[in-house]
A = this chain, B = another copy of it.
Amino acid sequence: MKIAIDAMGGDHAPQSTVEGVMLAAKKHSHVTFQLYGDKVKMAPYLEQLSNVEIVHTEEKIESTDSPVEAVRKKKQASMVLAAKAVKDGEAEACISAGNTGALMSAGLFVVGRMKGIKRPALAPTIPTVDGSGFVLLDAGANADAKPEHLLQFGMMGSAYVSAVKKIERPRVGLLNIGTEHNKGTDLTKDAFALLDASSVINFVGNVEARDLLNGVADVVVTDGFTGNMVLKTIEGTAGNLMKMIKGAMTATPLSKLGALTMRKGIYEIKDMMDYSNYGGACLFGLAGTVVKAHGSSNAHAIATTVTQAIQMVEGNIIGNINSALQQTKEEETTNE
């Protein structure tokens, strides 16, 4: 298996990406890693490992670049070349911690859409109190969505959770303003009917935003606008609260001493809420495996994301999504 990595994307690139791949390369000796980027800038962090290859390029996509334009114009960018390796069948998966919009564009225009999938989806894993997390999709690949897209999101999220978390029948919930089946917008009402009728997924009904962190479902589907709102609201609320708690702990010399007594518990909370422990956000609905690592990833987070990509390839997610699509098509034909 070969994994292509955009070494130049992310806030701490290329150091974090290269160091993270070094960690992963030692752990996964059966996998070959291709690092795309500037060999001079990568050099200080590289070790001599037989399963790591360098593909030199000096072009790269900046976080401030306009996504679609950057992917079209910067044909030699490290991110674009990594995506092209997947397209050409040279690599089984690609990873980038760079510009999210650009990676979605590269996924769509370079790797290409999976046949039968109407809309790709961005799917991060969101922390839950019990530490297991849930997959949220779509978290913002497209703002608007139709009911059939949400059904496909449910299928793709299920295939992922089955393969990576080894849960046989992942619970799929529909994000809504109430748990009753007739709640919500036209979109959620129609999506509810489709999800409920499908035997391909294990639909558990509507789930409320208030209960998300309590682990009410393994996969939560929604349109990209709402998904993005919920993701950013969780990040904003948790980030602000943690900052204020840190303020309370460091307010006085005495409170600093007091804080030491609960260090373990506080670290556990920080660890639980740390997105990087849950891997990167997957781009589902493409003809190949594409994973977006957090922009602020350190070496550990990159290594976690690499392991996640390997599990996705080994779990045959692309094949499983295809099977689910096939089964859905057969159900539809039978019902007609």
A residues within 8 Å of B by Cβ? 129, 140, 143-144, 175, 177, 183-186, 188, 208-214, 224-226, 228-242, 244-245, 247-249, 251-252, 254-255, 257-262, 264-266, 268-269, 272-273
Contacts of A254 in B (CB 8 A): 261
Q: How many subunits of this chain does the assembly comprise?
A: 2
Contacts A140-B177, A258-B262 known; list 7 others, CB within 8 Å.
A177-B224, A177-B229, A208-B232, A233-B237, A252-B261, A258-B259, A258-B260
Q: Which of B229, B265, B272 contacts A175 (CB 8 A)?
A: B229
Closest B residue by C-beta to A222: B229
A247–B175 CA distance with the chains assembled, in angstroms: 28
Contacts of A261 in B (CB 8 A): 252, 254-255, 257-259
A238–B234 CA distance with the chains assembled, in angstroms: 9
Contact present for B228 and A230 (CB under 8 Å): no
Contacts of A175 in B (CB 8 A): 229
CB distance from A178 to the nearest CB of B (A): 9
Contact present for B266 and A262 (CB under 8 Å): no
Contact present for B232 and A210 (CB under 8 Å): yes
Closest B residue by C-beta to A245: B245
Contacts of A266 in B (CB 8 A): 245, 248
Closest B residue by C-beta to A246: B265
Interface pairs A-B: 7 shortest CB-CB: A248-B265, A258-B261, A258-B258, A209-B232, A210-B236, A210-B232, A237-B237
Known: A229-B177, A254-B261. A185 touches B144 (CB 8 A): yes
CB distance from A181 to the nearest CB of B (A): 14
Q: Which of B229, B249, B264 contacts A265 (CB 8 A)?
A: B249
CB distance from A29 to the nearest CB of B (A): 38
CB distance from A130 to the nearest CB of B (A): 11
Most buried by B among A224, A241, A251: A241
Contact present for B240 and A213 (CB under 8 Å): yes
Known: A184-B143, A229-B175. A129 touches B240 (CB 8 A): yes
Known: A210-B233, A226-B225. A143 touches B255 (CB 8 A): no
Closest B residue by C-beta to A211: B236
Closest B residue by C-beta to A229: B209
Contacts of A248 in B (CB 8 A): 262, 264-266, 268-269
CB distance from A223 to the nearest CB of B (A): 8
Contacts of A214 in B (CB 8 A): 236, 240
